[in-house]
Amino acid sequence: MNFVEAWFVKGLRRLGSTFNVYLRTRWVNARKSAFMILDFFLENGGNFIDTANFYHGGESEQWLGECMALRQNRDDLVIATKYTGFYKPDAKVRYNFQGNPKKSMVLSLENSLRSLQTSYVDIVS
């Protein structure tokens, strides 16, 4: 397994601010390292990215969206995302954001589309 596969086989949950990343000889902040990793992945032929609205509190989708918007490369990628049964714990009406009812799925997907700064995703699970 090469570097690209090692980082992306488990999805973009590694791209978030839970920790900073040591890259070769220096520490870089998590957002900057996420962009560096995405650039490396794309430059080496990667095009399938698996993420979810709850990875690192939503930062994974947010940063991926920022990266795609800056590079104008959304149409070159295959984006898979997942909806979670409980992604908004501070909501007044929690039922709308938990479990598997249609409303929860629709709200979750709408949130993902906003975060990813795109009008579509290729795969939802």
Active site residue 83: no
Question: Higher pLDDT residue, 35 or 24?
Answer: 35
Tokens encoding 106: 């629709």
Close Cβ partners of 73 (under 8 Å, ≥ 6 residues apart) = 42
Q: Does the model's pTM come out above 0.85?
A: no
Q: Which domains does the chain have, with CATH numbers?
A: 3-124 (3.20.20.100)
Strand 78-81 relative to strand 123-124, pairing: parallel
Per-residue pLDDT tens for 38-54? 888 888 888 999 888 87
The dihedral through the CA atoms of 84, 30, 37, 112 has a sign that is positive
Calpha distance 37→108 (Å, rounded): 26
Q: H or E stretch including 103?
A: helix 102-116
